[in-house]
Amino acid sequence: MRIVVAFAALAALVLDANLPAAAVSVAGLHYLVGSWACTYRAGAQRFPYAARYAYDRDGHTLRETTSWTGGGDEELVGYSPQRGWTAVVFEDQGAATILRAPVGDPNHIAYHSIYPDASIAETIDHVSSTEYTIHATVRAGGKSIASVDTCLRGAP
């Protein structure tokens, strides 16, 4: 009896090792879909903003629309198994930033900007069904600025 159980356990391990890992796709970001009340913090600076996520392009892209007093932006996020995560942020002043992250876990995405420069590092972490955070650093004016955004489910 023990030999049969041991063989079954070994067979399960071998089969699991030969199966491909679960496919990662933009669908892995489903936890973001909906409305969020966020707060940006960098040093003494703090301001609230609203973020709303929805699928676009037949579910192949996640669209984020953010708004705050006096402004807002829009972001499109896509995923390729060969290239990983790509986010394009369109700012309301007409500028755009492109960020890339390696293939991997949609619950922890570590982006680095590739356009217009490489000064931005941003990590998005899925904390729970009601919270996510963004830790970022950017070089501006010869200084490095660190920030943390905390987002809670629900519109402000």
Query: pTM here?
Result: 0.81
Range of the domain at 75: 24-153
Q: Kindly report, residue by residue over 76-89, the tens digit of the pLDDT.
A: 999 999 999 999 99
**Domain count across the chain:** 1
Specify if 9 maps to a domain: no
pLDDT band at 14 (very low <50, low <70, confident <90, very high): very low
Q: Kindly report, residue by residue over 25-77, the tens digit of the pLDDT.
A: 899 999 999 999 999 999 999 999 999 999 998 888 999 999 999 999 999 99
CA distance 42 to 31: 25
CATH code, domain carrying 55 = 2.40.128.20
CA distance 84 to 103: 4
Specify if 19 maps to a domain: no
Specify if 67 maps to a domain: yes
CA atoms within 13 A on the CB side of 30: 5
Specify if 103 maps to a domain: yes
Specify if 8 maps to a domain: no
Specify if 55 maps to a domain: yes
The predicted model gives 1-17 an average pLDDT of 30
Q: Given this model, what pLDDT does residue 87 score?
A: 96
